[in-house]
Structure 1
Amino acid sequence: MSVLFETSLGDIVIDLETESCPKTCENFLKLCKVYYYNLNAFFNVSKDFLAQAGDPTATGTGGESVWSYLASTSSNKSSNEAKEPRYFTPEFRPKLKHAKRGTVSMAVAPAIDASGKEMQGGCGSQFFITLGDNVDYLDGKHAVFGHVVEGEDTLEKINEVFVDQDSRPYKDIRIRHVIVLDDPFPDPPGLIKPPSSPTRPPDNSTRIAEDEDPLFQLPEEEEERIRREKAAAASALTLEMVGDLPFANVRPPENVLFVCKLNPVTRDEDLELIFSRFGTIMSCQVIRDKKTGDSLQYAFIEFDKRDDAEQAYFKMQNVLVDDRRIWVDFSQSVARMNNQWSNDIKRGKPSRVGEGFGGRADLERTKRYRVDDTARHGSDGYGMVFDVPGHQSKRRKHRSRSRDRGDRTRHESSMSPRDRHREEDRHRERDRDRRRDRSHDRDIQRRR
């Protein structure tokens, strides 16, 4: 009768002495059948002496017989626990000795009588495998019930592991799986084989995991990549704390283009007209200086769809605009999101369904960040790098122009036809002078 132990260091096959030690072998086989030993650790390894396992707590004080285990897991737990003791009487056989390496023996727990004298105890679930020959001083103290017939190389690996002062291996050696090759004993009442093996170790080990290599090193490129990712995450968290980023894991919008190397005379309307052939443009803003209001020669163009932005990126790269070769890239700025999101209550319109915050729909669902009204932040776009004293936003300019246009229309309606024609000629001549001055500025810039 044999049992196969699949350990983290290799396989071990154990032949059992079922005729000489029937109760011990039945206890061992039934514990194997209910996966009691699966993921148990070898918690005590002494070089050239023994390797001990079978305690789910990995402390040396746990474990019980299969009959006690079945009683504790049955429905009528209170009545059965009093009937079934934790240990059973060990079966010592004079012909079974600890003479050869690979001898499998049940660990006998000591018992203390009422007077405090130590007496012979019983066997539960703990067992050990000898790692040396002629360990005869264990005879009569622990009950032999089997021998290792395959897996000498595994025993050698176990014998060479590094242990601490308590003989506990620094790196866990675990029984990954147990396969009962032959079981001649009928199952006791109440024994139900679990549908699957456990997936978590029963003990709370803080040692090196059995599938972990403490000496493993990643390639230099991979380590550098991980280091850069950690540094970027730390920097993003710092920027979130100082208020430069609305959220550390924010992602730049994918429908916004960054255009640079612009001609200083290029206006928002010019870029919007040029890029509008690729799709609907939500906003087009040239960033300007805080004091003078002059163009800083870069802009942000927001498309309605990401595909339109991608097409513009590929088609407009290095294109000549106002005698300048522009450079187009996807925006890495989240300034607009920072203007539109806050932790305050929601006052403005919600974002589109599925977009979330910075491309993260989970933040939209949890509503950690909400849209704020544009009046609170003064602008609904990127705006200027710094505020310009007396400078009006584009929307305010548009409104003032509309008001001027309306006033002029009302004024012209009260004029005579001759005066109205003179006024129109005057406006036409002023517009012609403005276009001539703009063309002259472009010629100067071209000569430079």
Structure 2
Amino acid sequence: MKKAVAVLFGLMLLLAAAGCGKKNGNFDQMSGPEEGDPVATITIQDMGDIKIRLFPDQAPKAVENFIGLAEKGYYDGLTFHRVIADFMIQGGDPTGTGSGGESYFGSDFEDEFSDDLFPLAGSLCMANRGSNTNGSQFFLTTTSEKVDDGTLKQVEEAYQLRYDKDLDFGSMTETAKKNFEEYGGAYWLFRQHTVFGQVYEGLDVLHQAESVATDENAKPLNDLIIEKITISEYGK
């Protein structure tokens, strides 16, 4: 039950903060990009690059939003305003408070949940204030906690007791369960946030970023700056 409580705490923190493969059968979220796939490079000042494969087939609107904002320089110079070790780093808010930001489309857009994508270790996800409230904020998961059916049931029971509603683990496919058991990740966020990318290079930089000192609100004591985000096609 201690694990379930810790998981629920992490979920509450994130919700409060937000104010090579093919699709269909052969898709592998954890494989590297193929030639021509869209990729993003997040350069963190004084740390290095995190390279991310994007998934336009599974999350077209989230990818379009991220690429559109990145290509106009929206993210350049912003900070990761919220960092929780062994959970995630969150950025994309021009105010640096966790309550700002605007999507490429000018208004919030809907969630995109895919049976192909899960919040595994190193996943790029949209931050939100609840269902269908996606804007400019995003986070990268850093946890690699692995899970089995017993842990899932424990978390579901604790969540039901606390909030009197169910998590969506009942719709978790066998593929999802296998991925969480093999790779680990933020399984308690399943179908809570749109997953639209996966780190394939620079995990060491991501883990360095999650290790910075923070205050009681999980804000880094020294600015963790996104120097730039660049978009390219893999292999070109």
TM-score with structure 2 setting the length: 0.64
* SS across alignment from 1:29: helix
Amino acid at match of 1:6: T
Q: Whole-Å Cα distance in 2 between the matches of residues 104 and 40 of structure 1?
A: 17
In the TM superposition, what is the alpha-carbon distance from 1:121 to its structure 2 partner?
3.3
Amino acid at match of 2:220: P
2:61 corresponds in structure 1 to 23
1:139 corresponds in structure 2 to 190
- Whether 1:107 aligns to 2:107 is no
- Whether 1:91 aligns to 2:112 is yes
Q: 1:39·1:175 contact (CA, 8 Å) conserved in 2?
A: yes
1:231 corresponds in structure 2 to none
State the number of aligned residues: 156
Higher RCO (CA-CA < 8 Å; seq separation 6+): 2
- Whether 1:3 aligns to 2:48 is no
2:74 corresponds in structure 1 to 36
In the TM superposition, what is the alpha-carbon distance from 1:48 to its structure 2 partner?
0.2
In the TM superposition, what is the alpha-carbon distance from 1:27 to its structure 2 partner?
0.7
2:218 aligns with one of 154, 167, 171 = 167
In the TM superposition, what is the alpha-carbon distance from 1:94 to its structure 2 partner?
2.7
* SS across alignment from 2:137: strand
Q: 2:58·2:116 contact (CA, 8 Å) conserved in 1?
A: no
- Which structure's residues are more often helix, by fraction? 1
TM-score with structure 1 setting the length: 0.34
Give deviations 1:136-169, integer Å, cap 9, x for gaps: 0111111000001111110121121110000001
In the TM superposition, what is the alpha-carbon distance from 1:108 to its structure 2 partner?
2.0
Give deviations 1:342-370, integer Å, cap 9, x for gaps: xxxxxxxxxxxxxxxxxxxxxxxxxxxxx
Question: What fraction of aligned residue pairs are identical, expressed as a percent?
Answer: 36
Q: 2:101·2:135 contact (CA, 8 Å) conserved in 1?
A: yes
Unpaired runs of 5+ in structure 2?
A: 1-37, 145-184
Q: 2:68·2:104 contact (CA, 8 Å) conserved in 1?
A: yes
In the TM superposition, what is the alpha-carbon distance from 1:97 to its structure 2 partner?
0.9
Q: 1:65·1:123 contact (CA, 8 Å) conserved in 2?
A: yes
2:205 corresponds in structure 1 to 154
Q: 1:108·1:143 contact (CA, 8 Å) conserved in 2?
A: no
Q: CA RMSD in A?
A: 1.3
1:269 corresponds in structure 2 to none
Q: Whole-Å Cα distance in 1 between the matches of residues 57 and 74 of structure 2?
A: 23
* SS across alignment from 1:13: strand
Q: Whole-Å Cα distance in 2 between the matches of residues 54 and 156 of structure 1?
A: 18
Specify the structure having the higher radius of gyration (Cα). Answer: 1
* SS across alignment from 2:64: helix
Q: Whole-Å Cα distance in 2 between the matches of residues 35 and 61 of structure 1?
A: 20
